[in-house]
Structure 1
Amino acid sequence: MAPAITLAAEAPKLSAANTGFMLICSALVMLMTPGLAFFYGGMVRVKSTLNMLMMSFISLGIVTILWVLYGFSMAFGTDSGSLIGWNSDWVGLGNIGLTELWPGYTIPVFVFLVFQLMFAIITPALISGALADRVKFSAWALFIALWATVVYFPVAHWVWGAGGWAFELGVIDFAGGTAVHINAGAAALGVILVIGKRVGFKKDPMRPHSLPLVMLGAGLLWFGWFGFNAGSWLGNDDGVGALMFVNTQVATAAAMLAWLIYEKIRHGAFTTLGAASGAVAGLVAITPAGGAVTPMGAIAVGAIAGVLCAMAVGLKYKFGYDDSLDVVGVHLVGGVLGSLLIGLFASGKGQSTVEGLFYGGGLTQFWKQCAGVFAVLAYSLIVSAILAFILDKTMGMRVPEDDEVAGIDQAEHAETAYDFSGAGGGAAKTAVAPVAAAASKKVDA
């Protein structure tokens, strides 16, 4: 009998379909940062609108350049000590072939790196919502550069880079529960503990100036999040990305409804701000878990996040930290919940065979999730607080109190979001005058 012939596994080939799919997903994730800008911009007062928009938009510029220079290499290069990566060939992105494939996948390296770039951009932008109304724009821009370098790039390597300690441990983070949301939420808490509260915190109402803008931003985030989540499987060949797409929709819907029900019971009304915030809470929570749970599990994840995040946003008044736009309550709490609930609801029928407690897998995965969650939380909180402290003591993080009260838009950007100077004048006055004169003559007669 002739010996069996063992054939080497066929090497992956570039897939035009997956490449196109991932480029579309990358564009969707890019759209999330302007969407976030509108979401946050509508939640602040009129006098801070432009500054809030710019705090997100500037991340598109700063992080993009850093990613090209060294960020991609630090996050996804050859592992060193399970803590950081490096690949000198990727510095400046000048030595990457056009059809060079990302190892183990059918998409080019360029496609993978631009998809991951969009994650790197939005993560520091998420932090900005906690700092509304009071931070110097120049200090914020420098903070983004420093934070991306010493926090985001290393944490992305831990979670997603080959050899990263969390990756090797088996921590599940499909699309960014730890690397994006816990990372940003913990950073926000670290910075606000250093820079302090807004003038008038707990005294002035500080209501959102434009709820339509908030809803527009939430809608753009929801739309872009399909690329954020489904694209994180880096292809569309085995149905896992489709599962993640479905779970993203399902969990977001459940969280929005749960938030609104809690709000009605607790405060007596269904608010548009609650609907938008609940949707974002669901998006955050399903981000790490959506590839591991069933659609019924996604309903559970979303509903739990909707209620607990709604409860968490009020903690700032109890504990006295001024998280302006609830980054801690939504992104930190939602990210922690979504990541830990994997240990309970993982079905073993999605991205891997890992099963959670409710599917007979015990608590093994839950403890792994705890390790990833609390390591990222502690690292980001501490390092972010240190960065904010250094910047505050050197160049100053906060605008002067008079500028904060008068309006940070005019002080930092020499602009205002809305121009009311022409209201009631011009053609309107000219048209009304003859009518008023005619009416006066009739009265006199």
Structure 2
Amino acid sequence: MVSLPVATAALVIDSGDTAWLLTSSALVLLMAPGLALFYGGMVRSKSVLNMMMMTFGSLAVIAVLWTVVGYSLAFGDDVGLGLVGDPMQYAGLGQLLDPGSDGSSTYPLILFAMFQGLFCVITGALVSGAIADRARFGAWMVFVSAWTLLVYAPVAHWVFDVSSGDHVGGWLVNRLGLVDFAGGTAVEINSGASALALALVLGRRVGFGKEPMRPHNLTLVMLGAGLLWFGWFGFNAGSALAADHRAAVVFAATLLAGAAGTLGWLVVERFRDGHATSLGAASGLVAGLVAITPSCGSVSPVGAIVMGAAAGVACAYAVGLKYRLGYDDSLDVVGVHLVGGLVGTFGVGLLATAAAPTGVDGLFHGGGLGQLGRQLVGGGAVLVYAFVVSGMIGWVVDKMMGFRIDEEHEVSGIDLVVHAETAYDLHATAGARSAGPLLTPPRREDS
């Protein structure tokens, strides 16, 4: 569970814990370009740069907003009912420049703030996959800015901000007793529900359900998936906030769940479709990692395998729901992150063992239905809040400036229209040395 430790005695900055959190922060940062490659390979060649730009744009704007006020909203003293933190308490993070410890942590608090900010970055970037091929870049930047402050920061306060001493945190973790070690609710369910709302606001792509919209470069997809798996160790094991046994247990669970998720998805493909695919392997890997994110500190190694495999199977079937229900989730954010997040969050109530770091028994280990009920309430609350507020933000942005590009530009290619670039120079090279410069750039659509 990502949180500031409870202060029982004055603690001193520990170089080992600090080094581990620095490393973990860098690993989570690596997940952003990993996601850009993963998503970039999954879209058509005419949309690659726009897809990647939405990830890098999210990284830029969220990092700034998180510093200015986002961290304070998420981790400031609660201003009432456990819903949001004091927006001015840590505004600008200048209060965290003191290199000494405040007596409640073994690492610099400004490092904790950056670590948490990178969680917000990857969560926001995940949402963009649902609207691939059809969103204005400028509108996306406005949306993700408002979403950071109105959706992610409050939910992070609910889930991650543990009360300690005089500090009062969020309602889900402190009052309800939700167990979410690294973000199954705040990251996975949050991004999946937000993605579903935004996909409904923008509507379907031209040709959805009628034309093939296959990934244009599966090599990029596999490379991106590998980087995501590598970065996920910082995401999960870094959430122990110390270089200790808890981090080692979480590391093992993350490895095993990713592997089991891959196998689960591939088995479904083999028996359902007759062949196992590279896209299925990459998707199953991510599904397993999504499910273990909330439960990595709560399950045994065998429990991690069961959790990952269950997510791989469930998500392999869930990605087809968009064709049955008619919503266009371009890159299956709903099918993988929302469904996988629900599997992992609810799975804590079933598979958790008190022998694991969080010390909670689920139903299958004699813990009864209590924890399962808390997980259901917590996951449901985040899902409803993220869906409603994200939909409202998307609707307002669409009415104010138009969220979707023109149909003719969507068909011709969003990269050239919005960014005046293409991912691949496929023109003939003959006579290139004698060719003059491009004097008339293509007409660009207002981003």
Give TM-score, length-normalised by structure 2: 0.92
Residue in structure 1 matched with residue 35 of structure 2 by the alignment: 36
Which 5+ residue runs of structure 2 have no aligned equivalent? 1-6, 163-168, 434-447
Q: Would you say 1:54 and 2:53 are equivalent positions?
A: yes
User: Residue 347 of structure 1 aligns to a residue in which SS?
Assistant: coil
Worse overlay, 86-95 or 180-189: 86-95
The count of residues paired between Structure 1 and Structure 2 equals 419
Matching residue's letter, 2:12: K
Contact kept in structure 1, 2:76 and 2:89, CA below 8 Å:
no
Give me the identity figure in percent.
Answer: 55
Larger Rg: 1
Give 1:251 deviation, angstroms.
0.5
Tell me the distance in 1 between the aligned counterparts of 2:237 and 2:429.
Answer: 46
Is 1:277–2:283 an aligned residue pair?
yes
Equivalent residue for 1:152? 152
* 199 and 230 in structure 1: CA distance in 2 versus 1, 3 angstrom threshold: same
Q: Distance in 1 between matches of 2:102 and 2:334?
A: 34
| Of 97-106 and 38-47, the range deviating more from structure 2 | 97-106
Aligned-partner Cα distance in 2 for 1:116–1:286: 18
Structure 1 residue 295: Cα displacement = 0.4
Alignment of 1:42-441 (within 5 A): 42-81=41-80, 82-86=82-86, 88-101=88-101, 104-162=104-162, 163-168=169-174, 169-237=176-244, 239-423=245-429
Please tell me whether the aligned partners of residues 89 and 96 of structure 1 are also in contact (alpha carbons under 8 angstroms). Answer: no
Cα RMSD of the aligned pairs, angstroms, is 1.4
Q: Deviating runs (4+, > 4 A) in structure 1?
A: 423-427
Q: Secondary structure at the match of 1:94?
A: helix
Label 1:9 to 1:309 Cα distance change in 2 as closer, same or farther (>3 A): closer
> Structure 1 residues 361, 226: closer, same or farther in 2, change over 3 A?
same
Residue in 2 that maps onto 1:18 = 17
Contact 1:347 1:355 in 2 (8 A): yes
Q: CA 1:232/1:423 → structure 2, altered by over 3 Å: closer, same or farther?
A: same
Moved more, 97-106 or 59-68: 97-106
1:378-426 per-position Cα deviation (integer Å, ceiling 9, x unaligned): 0000111111111111211100000000000011100000011244666
Is the 8 Å Cα contact of residues 102 and 112 (structure 1) preserved in structure 2? no
How big is the shift at 1:101?
3.0
Normalising to structure 1: TM-score of the pair? 0.92
Partner SS for 1:78: coil
Amino acid at match of 1:126: L
Separation in 1, partners of 2:341, 2:273: 25
Please give the alpha-carbon distance, in whole angstroms, between the structure 2 residues aligned to 1:9 and 1:188.
41
AA aligned opposite 1:210: N
Secondary structure of the residue aligned to 2:78 is strand
C-alpha distance after superposition, 1:168-198 (max 9, x if no partner): 1210110010000100000000111111000
Distance 1:424 1:295, change over 3 A: farther
User: Is contact 2:315–2:339 with CA below 8 Å preserved after alignment?
Assistant: yes
**Are the aligned partners of 1:79 and 1:161 in contact in 2 as well (CA < 8 Å)?**
no
Return the alpha-carbon distance in structure 2 between the equivalents of residues 74 and 12 of structure 1.
25
TM-aligned CA deviation for residue 249 of structure 1? 0.4
Distance 1:295 1:198, change over 3 A: same
Deviations 1:258-296 (A, max 9, x none): 100100100111100000000000010000001000000
Contact 2:9–2:103 under 8 Å retained in 1: no
Amino acid of the structure 2 residue aligned with 1:209: H
2:252 and 2:372 map into 1 onto residues whose CA distance is 24
Q: What amino acid maps onto 1:71 in structure 2? A: G
Amino acid at match of 1:24: T
Matched-pair contact (CA < 8 Å) for 1:100–1:109: no
Single out whichever of 349-358 and 374-383 deviates more from structure 2.
Answer: 349-358
User: How has the CA–CA distance of structure 1 residues 102 and 419 changed in structure 2, closer, same or farther, with 3 Å as cutoff?
Assistant: farther
Could you tell me how far apart the structure 2 residues matched to 1:391 and 1:348 are?
46
Structure 1 residues 95-133: Cα deviation after superposition (integer angstroms, max 9, x where no partner):
224324366320110110111011011111000111000
Letter in 2 for 1:195: L
Write the deviation string for residues 135-158 of structure 1: whole angstroms up to 9, x where unpaired.
010000000000001000000000
State the shift of 1:310 in Å. Answer: 0.2
Query: How far apart in 1 are the matches of 2:387 and 2:87?
Result: 28
In structure 2, C-alpha distance between the alignment counterparts of 1:318 and 1:103, rounded to whole Å: 54
1:39-81 deviation digits (Å, cap 9, x = unpaired): 0000000000000000100011100110111011000000122
The amino acid that maps onto 2:123 is: T
Distance 1:89 1:150, change over 3 A: closer
- Counterpart for residue 4 of structure 2: none
| 1:87 Cα offset (Å) | 5.7
* Rounded Cα–Cα distance in structure 2 between residues aligned with 1:9 and 1:53: 45
Q: Is the CA contact (8 Å cut-off) linking 2:101 and 2:108 kept in structure 1?
A: yes
Provide the rounded CA distance (Å) in 2 between the counterparts of 1:165 and 1:265: 44
Contact 1:256 1:306 in 2 (8 A): yes
Separation (CA, whole Å) in 1 of partners of 2:184 and 2:302: 20
Contact 2:10–2:103 (8 Å) recurs in 1: no
- How far apart, CA to CA, are the structure 1 residues paired with 2:351 and 2:103? 30
Match of 1:430?
none
Looking at structure 1, the residues matched to 66 and 103 of structure 2 have their Cα atoms a distance apart, in angstroms, of 19
